[in-house]
């Protein structure tokens, strides 16, 4: 059928006339150097844009020859971010990580934790054996992570500075091992760790007075799991023992005004504070006005905060960005997102 004739038809059914000579899909063998290929056009490269015709090409008109196979040829790679890959095996990890890595991040844009990656203990153990020099490790949340793999991380990475990890199988045992074996730790981010208690957090704060950031909630996760075991006790210990703190996320924890006042008094370098869903009032907002370095404040779902307290805080700190405040005291919900940096 000619293209000119196909264009006047209401419907055209395309049938493949040439059978592929090799498998196509996730199990397709790796293309070797010297292979001639075409590539699938991006939406911006399609002729006519959204008015793309059925007769227009979907693949590049030019032929390209593979000059290099990157996987396996990056022994000096130091930073690696892997995005939106839900399933990993230890065999796959062995092909993409290298001994010189110092930064490894498994990033996923999926808001729902159920759609995030499923890294297992075995995979983490493979990482610790292949990457002995890591100082930054971002694993995020996985249902398959337990104390076993976190303890292996603590034993393998004496110089690690940043850990982001989460899972229902992580307990205080992991944090106590990190406190004992990772003296250079400066950043600890935990997400949906229901079995973590004040004892584990206090062990970290007591042994690491130079901590820069703590997080007990995933700021990108809409499926929040309340962790009632992390309370005012943890926040006060952090405030008393970690004066260099710059970032703190205690969203959806049972935190009171008294703890926020202690943070405001003891952590003058604090730059970002996440208090979403916390049971705080104008007393906390008034105390935060004394933090001159505070740049970002998240107070969504904090029902007891008044408009007057917000205005007073803004007048005292003109560079502060306040996100997510609302009040329904008059029966009408008013959403406010403040950004005074512009």
The token pair that represents 230 in the structure block? 């992390």
- Say if residue 333's pLDDT is above 70: no
Tell me the pLDDT tens digit for each residue of 222-262: 445 555 478 899 999 999 999 999 999 999 888 999 999 99
Domain 76-230 shares a fold with domain 245-251+266-342: yes
Q: When comparing pLDDT for 36 and 5, which is higher? A: 36
Top-level class of domain 245-251+266-342: alpha beta
* Residue 342 confidence class, pLDDT cut points 50, 70, 90: very low
Of all residues in the chain, the percent with pLDDT exceeding 90 is 43
* Residue 329 confidence class, pLDDT cut points 50, 70, 90: very low
Residue 146 DSSP code: B
d(CA 160, CA 136): 6
Tell me the pLDDT tens digit for each residue of 185-233: 999 999 888 899 999 999 999 999 999 999 998 765 544 555 547 889 9
| Stated pTM of the model | 0.73
- Say if residue 321's pLDDT is above 60: yes
d(CA 217, CA 180): 23
**For the chain, domain boundaries:** 1-69, 76-230, 245-251+266-342
Instruction: Tell me the sheet residues that pair with 163.
Output: 137, 188
Tell me the pLDDT tens digit for each residue of 76-135: 788 988 876 666 666 677 667 778 899 999 876 554 544 556 688 888 888 898 889 999
SS3 string, 94-139, reads HHHCCCCCCEEEEECCCCCHHHCCCCCHHHHHHHHHHCCCCCEEEE
CATH code: domain 76-230 is 3.80.10.10
Q: What Å distances lie between residue 184 and 87, 161, 204, 210, 242, CA to CA? A: 30, 5, 11, 9, 14
d(CA 291, CA 295): 9
d(CA 66, CA 60): 15
d(CA 310, CA 254): 22
């Amino acid at each position: 059928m000619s293209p000119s004739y196909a264009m006047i038809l209401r419907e055209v059914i395309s049938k493949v006339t040439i059978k592929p000579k090799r498998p196509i899909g996730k199990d397709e063998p790796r293309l070797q150097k010297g292979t001639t290929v075409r590539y699938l056009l991006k939406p911006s490269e399609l002729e006519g844009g959204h008015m793309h015709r059925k007769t227009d090409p979907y693949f590049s008109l030019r032929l390209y020859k593979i000059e290099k196979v990157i996987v396996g040829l990056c022994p000096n790679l130091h930073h690696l971010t892997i995005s939106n890959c839900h399933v990993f095996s230890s065999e796959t990890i062995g092909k993409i990580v290298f001994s010189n890595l110092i930064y490894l991040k498994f990033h996923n844009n999926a808001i729902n934790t159920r759609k995030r990656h499923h890294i297992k203990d075995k995979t983490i153990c493979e990482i610790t054996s292949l990457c002995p020099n890591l100082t930054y490790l971002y694993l995020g949340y996985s249902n398959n992570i337990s104390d076993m793999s976190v303890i292996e991380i603590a034993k393998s990475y004496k110089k690690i500075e940043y850990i982001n990890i989460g899972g229902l199988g992580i307990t205080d045992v992991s944090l106590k091992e990190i406190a004992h074996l990772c003296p250079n730790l400066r950043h600890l981010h935990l997400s949906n760790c229901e079995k973590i208690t004040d004892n584990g957090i206090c062990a970290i704060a007591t042994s690491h007075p130079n901590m820069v950031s703590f997080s007990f909630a995933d700021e990108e996760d809409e499926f929040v799991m309340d962790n009632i075991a992390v309370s005012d006790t943890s926040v006060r210990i952090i405030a008393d023992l970690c004066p260099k703190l710059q970032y703190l996320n205690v969203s959806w924890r049972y935190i009171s005004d008294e703890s926020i006042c202690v943070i405001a008094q003891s952590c003058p370098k604090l730059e970002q504070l996440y208090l979403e869903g916390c049971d705080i009032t104008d007393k906390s907002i008034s105390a935060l006005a004394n933090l001159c370095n505070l740049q970002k404040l998240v107070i969504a779902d904090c029902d007891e905060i008044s408009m007057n307290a917000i205005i007073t805080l803004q007048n005292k700190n003109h560079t502060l960005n306040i996100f997510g405040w609302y009040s329904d005291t008059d029966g009408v919900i008013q959403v406010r997102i403040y950004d005074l940096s512009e």
